[in-house]
Chains A and B, each alone.
Chain A
Amino acid sequence: GQQLNQSPQSMFIQEGEDVSMNCTSSSIFNTWLWYKQDPGEGPVLLIALYKAGELTSNGRLTAQFGITRKDSFLNISASIPSDVGIYFCAGHFYQGAQKLVFGQGTRLTINP
């Protein structure tokens, strides 16, 4: 089935550092979405990408839809304590697909 491999699984950084995480698949994906989940909460949509090569920003967050349509990355600049949480990539496998396929998540920890 469709699987998304997210890396790294966890990150430990200092406040103010930049963060980069990525998501890859052996299959072509039609859309890529990035979510953040805090403990005990549901995932919150950060960025949605629809076209190969698309680069989209949301404040300090920037995400790109890979040219091959098999990968995506998320960058966070100048990290702050509230960036702590689990980041998930997700995507739709084909046009018209209803289900989102999720990666395993990247757990971000920030040392003040």
Chain B
Amino acid sequence: DAGVTQSPTHLIKTRGQQVTLRCSPKSGHDTVSWYQQALGQGPQFIFQYYEEEERQRGNFPDRFSGHQFPNYSSELNVNALLLGDSALYLCASSPAGSGGSYEQYFGPGTRLTVT
């Protein structure tokens, strides 16, 4: 049973560029959440997707956007990259029918470095 997968593993971008990160949820999960984890900090919630719509959003600017596909996989897009966007980006999926996202299972993350 495959867990949550993310791609790519590492990414280096230049300020002002745009980036797309991808996530495939755990089998049987229909809800995907994205988190940003700065070095030495706990993960911070970006947003969550359910039924191909953004269900809740954290305190992140509009430069951060996402999408969920019919197969429940998801993308995180970040435009106009800033140096401060350098972080580990984590995707988490939740079981179908949970009514929420109480138990979230994380992928290995994508390490984004902005230079």
Contacts and interface: CB of A to CB of B under 8 A. Distances in A.
Interface of A: 1, 4, 31, 33, 35, 40-45, 48, 50, 88, 90, 92, 95-105
B4 A42 contact: yes
A48 B108 contact: no
> Secondary structure of the B side of the interface?
loop
B33 A99 contact: yes
Given A42-B4, A99-B48, A92 B43 contact: no
Contacts of B103: 33, 45, 48
Contacts of B107: 42
A103 B42 contact: yes
Nearest to A4: B42
B71 interface: no
